[in-house]
Structure formats: C-alpha cells, structure tokens
Amino acid sequence: MYRPMLRQFELVDIVRSYDPGTDENLLNKAYVFSLKAHGVQRRESGDPFFSHPVEVAGILTRFKFDHLTIAAALLHDTIEDTVATLNEIQTEFGLEVAYVVDGVTKLSKLDLKSEDTKQAENFRKLVLAMANDIRVLFVKLADRQHNMQTLHYIKDPHKRQKIAKETLDIYAPLASRVGVQKMKETLEDFAFREINPQAYETTHKRLEFLCDSLAQPLEDIEADLEALLKKTGVHARVFGRLKTPYSIWKKIMTQNTTFEQLCDILAFRVVVPSLAECYQALGVLHSEYWVVPGRFKDYISTPKVNNYQSLHTAVISPKYQRMEIQIRTEEMELEAEYGIAAHWQYKQNVKAHDGKKYLWIRSLLQIMEQANNPEEFLENTKLEMFQEQVFCFSERGELIVLPKDVTPIDFAYAVDSWLGDHISEVKINGKSMPLRTVLQNGDQIQIITSEDQMPLPVWEKFVRTGKARTHIRQFIRAQQKKKMIQRGKEKLAAALGLKKEKIKEPALTPLLSTFSCSTLADFYEALGEDILDVAEVAQTLHKKKF
C-alpha cells in the first residue's frame, strides 16, 4: 500500500545538494502544480496518482539531473491525465520543460493501444523526440522503472506480460545504450520476474545459496584486494556485488553453460586514481591470482559505444572462488554509473541534452530515413543496438565498433554507404575471404569495390546491422520499382497500339488524377504491378481523346 512520498522541501533539498544554483522556485511550482492537477486520482495500487511523478523525479535525482529535467518529471503526466494543457505548461515552466513533457506525453498515448505496429510507431517517435532532447528518454526510462516496480498491481496478466516484454525488448537496451547500468538491470529483473517467474525464482534462490556458502564474505574479499593493492603502492576503492538474476539466466541460455561455470556471478570493482594505475592493478592481480584464460577485455583502449571504459578480467582466488574484477578510474566510474546522465555533472557541457550529438542516435535517424515503415525501422534498430560488440579496424587503422556476428558487408556500410553498395571483395588480415565471413575482434578489413557491383538480395539473409539491411532493402525496392515502371510503360504502349511511337507523357500528366496517381512514375508502377487494369486505362484514355 501507500508509503510516504518525497515531500516538496525534501525533493528541492536533494536537487540543491548536487546543484547549488538550481531554480528552487521552478521546482516548488512544478511540485504544487502537479499535486493540484492530479488531485484525488489514484493508481491501481491505491496510492495517490501524484506519488508516481514524485517517484519518477526521485529516480532522476539519483543521476543528478538538472532542475528542468526534475520539473519535467513532476509534470510528465499532467497533459495526458489532467485538464492541464501544453500551452499552460509552456507558459508556466518554459519551452524546455514543455518539450520534454510533450515528448513523454506523445509516447504514453501510444503505449499498449495495439500490437506491434503501434509499438514500432511508438519507438520511432521516441527516437525523434530524444534526438532533439535526450532528457525525453531519461524521463521515459524513469517513468517505466517506477511502473515496473508497481507492475504487480495490474490485474490483467496479459497486460502485465506485454508491458514486461516491451520493457525487456526496448527500454532496458536503451538504458544500456545511454550507460545507466543500474536502471538497465532494474528494468530487466522486474521484466524477467513477470515474463518467467519460475526461472527468476530458481536463479534468485541459487544466488542466495551462493552468497551464504562463499568461502569468504564479500567484505573480506574486498579487504583482501585493497590490502594486496596497497602493499604494491596502488590505493584503490574496492567493492563487490552479485550479478542480477536476469544477467545470469541470460548468460546460461545464450552461452549454453551452467551456473557453476560462470566466472562473473561474483564481481568486484577496483577504482583507482589514474589510468596508469589501472594497468598496474591488473598486473598485481594477475601475478597474485590464477587467471581464467580468455576472459580479459580492455574497454579502456577500445571503449563500448556508450563510452563505457574499464578493464575486465576473471581470476580464481587462493580459496578457489571464481570472480570477475573490473578496474577503472574515478572518471570512468562516474561514466559507468551515470552514462550520458554524467554529462549534467560536467558544468561546462551545456549541450548535453542535444540528442544529435550522440553518434548512435544519428545512426538511428539515418536508419529511420531509409526504412520503408515503422516496423522495419524497429526491426533494424534492434539489430543495430541490442547486441554485443566486436571491434575491427579499417585498412588505415581506423577503429570501427559493430554488433557481434557482423560480416564485411556490415563493416563496409558502417564506413560508407557507397562502399557497402559496391563491395565486391574483402581481405581480412591480408587474406581474401567470402563476403559472408563473420568478423572477429581485432580483424583488419580491406574493402575492394567495383562500379559494376550492386547489392544482392541474398545479402539481406546474412548481414547483421540495421544500416546494412536498410540500404540493401532500399536498393532492392528501387530496382523493383524501376522494373515495374518499365513494365507498365510497355504494357500501356501495347494496349494503345503504339509500336515505335512514344507515349505522349505531357498530354498524359493532366489525366493522372483520373487514376488516383500523383506522378507518372506512380502511374506506370501501378500498371506494372497490375494494380491498374491496362485495358480499362487504355479505354479511358481513348474516351478522353488521348
């Protein structure tokens, strides 16, 4: 049931604690406005509806968002669920707050109204909104996190399942992409609990058992690691935790392994003052503990797409405990904890809210422009965003980051669309290889092109990135369109009895509206695809003395 929510002065105090220059009047006004607007409304849990926007605002304060974002969070449901209007929000709170509130409102109106088409359209609108202001996404993510925390109050099991699946498919990966790992894990675990309660319960119990049966408690391992590093001159903060049930279950499923074989159920973070000490700490740990082969990853020299940087290794302690260790600086830790949200803590970064400054959003916008419909956009975006990564190098040594299991065709399109359209051969690490070869970390790729080469339909079956698939489909559609237009011209010429004479297109253009076509290309294509009956068209043209 209802629990005490953050009071007005408490929320303001929290924001002021990390941003002394915050506009307290704006926050106070937003709190009171939302409270009055929602009035006596109740959530399915029985709590006052106003508790929801306050919780959403509270979630965002953990990431130290600016007062405008917190105000937008307080107001994010007022347009949809109360008599308040967008003009009123804009007048009272300004353009920035109004834009974020409007963006979240438009998304909420589409949520769960129908099946896949609306979900795809919803996601398309989210990308457009966050491209203009990334804060729309953060408010939406915080909104979804609180809704997932109270999901069990929804009585309809079908609706719960649908919300959980959407959370797992779209919102958790988006949280990962903007680097807010804790929010990603929270969304995943709440969704996992709803979608597969038996698997969740089993994994959760095994984690509890593991924690109880550790040869050393987490606190003792932390102390041992700190002491070992300090002895060699490395002063570090060390803290450990268990992996989440969903991340463990996912690895067991995808890697075809067992709970006991996983190295990273027990994970420790080592935070050091400088970059040099990251590698110094790594050397100390590798010299003291048994190293698990093949588990070392250097995300400092090759960061993830969301700018995550850290050294990852897996070791076995003297007491035979397998554990993952992540080593990073304080700055890397800030980025790992807050992701893009960390930019609000860099006071010099005044354009942090501009979504187009982030490469992955620009990539999504490019896919959107070329996709044939919202469903295709959503499908290709999932390919682009929601997979693990592989790091490859161009012939000149440029690093290209791509999803796992990509091919040279994906690589070519990632470098330049023209290269992708005209790739004819590829050399991987100096050796000629088939175009469908799966690329591995560290591969150096040389793309050989030909003016005569064009994308082939079969490419679509083995490419992995949304950009490559979108370009291939676009090219195939363009080629099919050309064929249909030519076929339509030939059919019409034959029906009109024309042999060597050409169709009088200037005289035909004014008659296009008769056939519900806006251009000659559309008209010929409709004839080529037999959408228009050529005999009826010819008869109509004769009547109009064409």
- Residues near 332 by Cβ (< 8 Å), separated by ≥ 6? 300, 308, 309, 310
pLDDT given at position 543 = 80
pTM for this entry: 0.68
pLDDT given at position 348 = 43
The answer to whether 81 is a known catalytic residue is yes
**Cα of 361 vs its chain's centroid, Å:** 9
- CA atoms of 209 and 286, how far apart (whole Å): 28
pLDDT given at position 387 = 55
Nearest to 442 by CA among 234, 265, 245, 301: 301
Catalytic residue among 47, 81, 169, 522: 81
The answer to whether 102 is a known catalytic residue is no
Successive 10-residue mean pLDDT values, the chain, 546 residues: 77 93 95 95 91 96 92 95 93 94 76 52 72 86 95 94 89 85 93 94 87 77 93 93 87 75 80 96 94 89 84 86 92 86 57 61 66 63 59 80 87 92 93 93 90 91 87 89 92 85 83 88 92 89 76
Catalytic residue among 47, 80, 226, 337: 80
The number of CA neighbours under 13 Å toward the Cβ of 57 is 33
- CA atoms of 392 and 427, how far apart (whole Å): 13
- CA atoms of 383 and 465, how far apart (whole Å): 5
Which domains are seen in the chain, by residue range? 8-195 (1.10.3210.10), 202-345 (3.30.460.10), 357-472 (3.10.20.30), 479-543 (no CATH)
* CA-to-CA separations, 545 to 272, 496, 503, 524, 527, in angstroms, rounded: 85, 12, 13, 19, 20
